[in-house]
Each structure stands twice: as structure tokens, then as C-alpha cells.
A and B are shown apart, each in its own frame.
Chain A
Amino acid sequence: MLSTTFHTGAGYWNPLVWLGVFLLLLVLAYLFWFRGESGYRREGEQTKPFLSGNRAPARGEMHLRASHLYWGFTEAIRGYYERVVPAHTGVLNDYLLWFLGVMSFILVIMVVIR
């Protein structure tokens, strides 16, 4: 019998207990859903978005694209991105310079300063 209790050194972790709780929550969610509105239909007017009487945009226009997500996050740390992104120049010479620079830095720490 495979043991599912995993001792980490500072504590323990049992995925089966976690899965049990997860399944219990799924059952509870199902029960809530089961007691919901029985007249709901997947088709028809009630599933369409209501935009104050305006026509819904085309399917492609309704989708939130990748560029729309996390704009706030990148904007909040713009100073960081303004320094880090330009370092990725895509130029092979720069990559080689980084490599030699980092190796020199490690050499100074490991051999000279130590």
C-alpha cells in the first residue's frame, strides 16, 4: 500500500485529505446548483448579454485578449520593466558580453575577494 502522507521535515502533507475536502466542496456546490432556478435554458434571449439595448459586439470583439490582461501590474512596476526589458536586446554580441561579464564577476567574488 502506497503511503500518501508526506513528511517534509518540518510538517506533513496528505494529498488525499486535500482531495477529500475538494470533493466535499464540489458536492456542496452541486447541491447549491441543484436547488437553483429550474427554468433556466442554455438557449434563448436570457443567455445573451444585456447592454442597455445596444447590439452585442461580434464574438471576436467580446474576448479579452492577452494584451488586455495585467496592464495594471506592468504599469505599476514600469520602472523595473523599463530597465529589464531593454536588456533583452536580441543581439548575440550583447549576450556574449553578459556571459563574459557575469563570469568575471563570479571570478572576482570567488577568487579575488574571498
Chain B
Amino acid sequence: MSWELLRLHAPALLIAVPLVASFAMPILGRTKLSRGIIALGAMALTSCIAIFLSYTVYTSGVLLYVFGAESPALSIPPDSGGIPIRIIFTIDALSAFMTLIVAIVGFSVFLYSMSSDQRHTGLEGYYTLFLMMIAGILGMVNTGDLFNFFVFLEISSLAGAGLVAFRIEKGKAVEGALKFAVLSTMGALLLLFAVGIFYWQYDALNIAAIASRMQFSLLDQIALVMLVAALAMKCGSVPLHFWTPDAYSMAPSSVTAMLVVSSQASLYGLFRVIFTLYGIKLDWVTVGWIVIALGMLSMFVGVTMAIPQKDVKRLMAYHAISQTGYMLLGVGVGIAVLGDPASLQSYGMAAIDGGLFHIFNHAMYKGLLFLTAGAIIYVTGTRDMNAMGGLGHRMKYTMIFFMIGALAIAGIPPFNGFASKLVIYESVYRFSPVLAIIAMLVSILTLASFVKVFHSVFMGPELPEYDTGREVPLPMLLGMGLLAGIVIVIGIFPAPFIDHLVAPAAQALVNQAGYISAVAGGG
């Protein structure tokens, strides 16, 4: 009975647990122990619910949760004129896939933050915002309602901005947070405007309901432009990426790792809008090439801007932009051949597989790299790589974790980044060899950039200023170790991961009819 109840209400609990813990934190989290129990306990519970929910979706198909209704069969009330008026969570394989990412990275960074941020004051506020951001991201990737997506986007963005500003750092962190908040709000307002356009035309806010009525009128095209620009900016795509290095570099490292996932939730939103909301009705070639162009720019500008950086976190932020380019490239190729069944089957689906696989892999290794950067800053007290050196003598575990993350991001076998990049290279090559060659060149530059970080931070003689330095505390190592383990395991066993998790997510993404019929039929 209790399992059945859990299965029935898991989508609501997924949001309720971090939200309730977030609101309880300022009252109950006054001591280090109570704070740790509430934060880590809530995150662990949320991760368990997320994994359970994902398992249910992968084994039983699309899951509907209709807020305020007795059962999913009431997704469209009999007296609503065929429009789903309640808030509905529509959790297909793609949503489950994204939920898994949030669960894994979220738990790792919470574990890590149990030590990394304990030297600061105001931690009850810190965890309040952190849990709120988790709830926001989970809501974004699971909701089937466009207005609800806007609300969750705002929750995650505002909580994220507060967290970026957490350490103040002579105003620099506050400035980074201000840029993040203003641009996020700008994007969210455009998204809201697009939602208004849909509501005016179709009397609906539900994604499936709008998709089933979509005319691709001039207003729909304008709404699409606003949605693409807003979500491309939120995921840090060049040339809308300017806020990313400012915010990523100034946030505490555990927050930065989660900001990566938050950006990927916006990327999910972009793909959901293109495939599920508009689907085959849009001009797939034009939209596909716009997404590819954004991807190519992100890859190249991201990596070339990373190379001359001296701030370790700023360098990694530019690499996060560059890696987003791979995801945009892979899925962009899938969009560009969406209306050509032969090409879609031949290489388009593989390109989408590669793009989605890279989202997962990037969340793991980039999360790991930001956590290693945090460990370095924890010991040295600086982000300036010119002031570092020889840390490998005393921070052996951190160095190993960094090497795993760096080799994975550069696409070196047998780590997970290689597997997803291989799928992207091969499928994109069949679409356009030039794009695939540029993508490989960017990987070489990524490796070069991380060789620089590795040498300047960990290699060389032990520097006198760090003679007393030592390895970071165990919770930080455990957080990094969890992500490093996943990077290795997926690198060695990519086939089952692709077959059972990535391919169903890609199928769910392109299956617009399945998404619509799930809502219309009540799950």
C-alpha cells in the first residue's frame, strides 16, 4: 500500500521534499548538526524518489501527475472543453533522464558542501536557497505545463542568483549574481510573453494541448524566436553566454556544479519546445541550422576563451560553454533532418542520442571538475592559477579526480566523454564532415587547456606557501569520488547506458504524438 502511494505521488514528493526542507531550514537549521541532517537528508530522500520515479517511467512508460485530481485519467476534466486546465507533470523518458542527472549531481554536491562551505556564516540561508534551486530544476524538467515551467525557471534562477552572491567577495560575487539575475529575468519575461501568445491563441498552457493545436502562425513563429533566444541564453550558448563565466566563477564550487545542471535544464527546455511543442510543424532546416550555428560558436569561442584564462573557475566556466556546444550540435543535426525520415533514421537519431548522452556525461565530469576546483581553492585560498603549483604532492586524491574529469572532458578513452563525443563525431560527420572536424579540433584544444591547468596547479616543486597544505576533508572527497566513479563506469560500459537510458530519452524527445496522446488519454 505504501509503495503504491509512493508510486502514485512520487512526482509531487519530488518537488515537495526539497521545498519543505528549504522552508524548514531557517527555523530548524540553526546548528551545524541539524543543518547537515536536514540538508543532506532531504537531498538523499529527493535523490531516492528521483531514482524510483525514473525507474518507474523507464519500465512503465509516460507518467502523468495531475495536481488537484484524484487520478491521471482526469487530466482533461469533462467540462473543460477538451483543455487540460490543471497543472500536470508529464514525465516521459527524457524527463526521467534529466531527473536522474539532478539526483546524482545534487547528492554529490550536497555531500561535498557538508565540508566545503562550513567555514562560512549564514549557512541556513545557503541551504534554503540550494534546496529551492533543486526543487526549481526538478520542476522544470518534469512539468508538462508551460506557465509552470516559467515559474520553476524563476525559482531556480533567483535561488541560483542568491547562491552566486553568497560569499560577496568584495562585491565581485554580488556583481556576478546581479548579471545572472537580470539576464535570467529578461529571458524569463520573454518566455512569459511567449506563454501569453500561446494562451491568447489556444486557450491553453499545457504543452501537449498547445502542441496538438499548433498552427505555426506568425505569432507562433515570434514566440518560437523568443523561446529559443531566452533558453539559449539560459543554457549559456555563445553569443548569449556572457553571464556564465561571471556567475560560475564567483559562486561557491558546489553551487557552480549545480548551476551547470540548472543550465542543462534550460537546454532541456529548448529541446522540449522545439521537438514537443512545435515538432514537425516548424521549419526544421532553419531552426536546426540556427541550433547548429549556436553550437559551433559555443564550442569554438568557449574553448579559445578558456585557453588564456588564469582564474581556474573562469577557465572551467568557458569549457562548460564549449561543451554545451557539443550538445547543441548533436541535437541540432537531429532537428535539421527531423522532416527527412531516411536521414533521421540513418544518422539523425544517433546525433540526438549523442547530444543527450553528452548532457549526462557533461553534468558528471563538469560537476566533478568544478568540485576539484573548489577543493583547490579550499586549500590555496585563491582562484589564480599563477599563484599555484606543486599541489599534487599533497592533494593526491584531488589530483586523480581532476585527471579523470579532465581526460573525460577532452574526450580521451576510456572515460565517458569519449563515448558521447564519438557518437556525435560519427553522426555529425555524415551530416557535414566540416562540422565534425571542427568538433574534434575543439576537443584537442580542450585537452591542451586542461594540460595547462594540470601542470600549473598540480605539477612542479612544492611551493613554500603551500608547505602546510593538506588534502581536503572526507565528505569533499566522497562527493568528488561519486562523480568520478560514474565517469569511469559509464566510460567502460557505454552500451547498456545508451540502450536503456539515452535511446529511450531520445525516442521520447522526437515522439511528439506519444507525448500528446499520453496527456489526452490520461497517462
List residues of A whose CB falls within 8 A of some B CB.
2-11, 13, 15-16, 18-19, 58-60, 62-67, 69-70, 73-74, 77, 80-81, 84-85, 87-88, 90, 92, 94-96, 98-99, 102-103, 106-107, 109-111, 114
Q: List chain A residues, Cβ under 8 A from B423.
A: 8-9
Closest Cβ of chain A: how far from B450's Cβ, in Å? 11
Q: List chain B residues, Cβ under 8 A from A64.
A: 455-456, 460
Mostly, the B contact residues are helix
Contact of B464 among A19, A60, A65, A98 (CB under 8 A): A60
Closest Cβ of chain B: how far from A9's Cβ, in Å? 4
Q: List chain A residues, Cβ under 8 A from B464.
A: 58-60
Chain B 464-496 interface mask (CB, 8 Å, partner A; 1/0): 110000000000000000000000000111111
Mostly, the A contact residues are helix
Closest Cβ of chain B: how far from A65's Cβ, in Å? 5
Q: From known contacts A59-B461, A65-B389, A102-B239, infer whether A5 and B495 are also in contact, taking CB-CB under 8 Å.
A: yes
Is the interface on chain B under 10, 10 to 19, 20 to 34, or 35 or more residues? 35 or more
Closest Cβ of chain A: how far from B68's Cβ, in Å? 36
For the complex, what is the distance from the CA of A67 to the CA of B68, rounded to whole Å? 59
For the complex, what is the distance from the CA of A114 to the CA of B182, rounded to whole Å? 32
Chain A residue nearest to B491 in the complex (CB): A15
For the complex, what is the distance from the CA of A65 to the CA of B386, rounded to whole Å? 5
Contact of A95 among B183, B218, B310, B429 (CB under 8 A): B183
Chain B residue nearest to A98 in the complex (CB): B239
Q: List chain A residues, Cβ under 8 A from B12.
A: none
B23 CB–A CB distance under 8 Å = no
Chain A residue nearest to B499 in the complex (CB): A3
For the complex, what is the distance from the CA of A92 to the CA of B494, rounded to whole Å? 42
Closest Cβ of chain B: how far from A15's Cβ, in Å? 4
Q: Are A62's CB and B460's CB within 8 A?
A: yes
B427 CB–A CB distance under 8 Å = yes
Q: Are B286's CB and A18's CB within 8 A?
A: no
Q: Are B492's CB and A96's CB within 8 A?
A: no
For the complex, what is the distance from the CA of A3 to the CA of B494, rounded to whole Å? 9
Q: List chain A residues, Cβ under 8 A from B429.
A: 10
Q: List chain B residues, Cβ under 8 A from A19.
A: 414, 492
Q: List chain A residues, Cβ under 8 A from B498.
A: 6
Q: Chain A interface: which of B224-232, B254-262, B359-367? A: B224-232
Closest Cβ of chain B: how far from A99's Cβ, in Å? 6
Contact of B426 among A8, A85, A106 (CB under 8 A): A8
Q: List chain A residues, Cβ under 8 A from B452.
A: 66, 69-70
Q: Are A92's CB and B422's CB within 8 A?
A: no
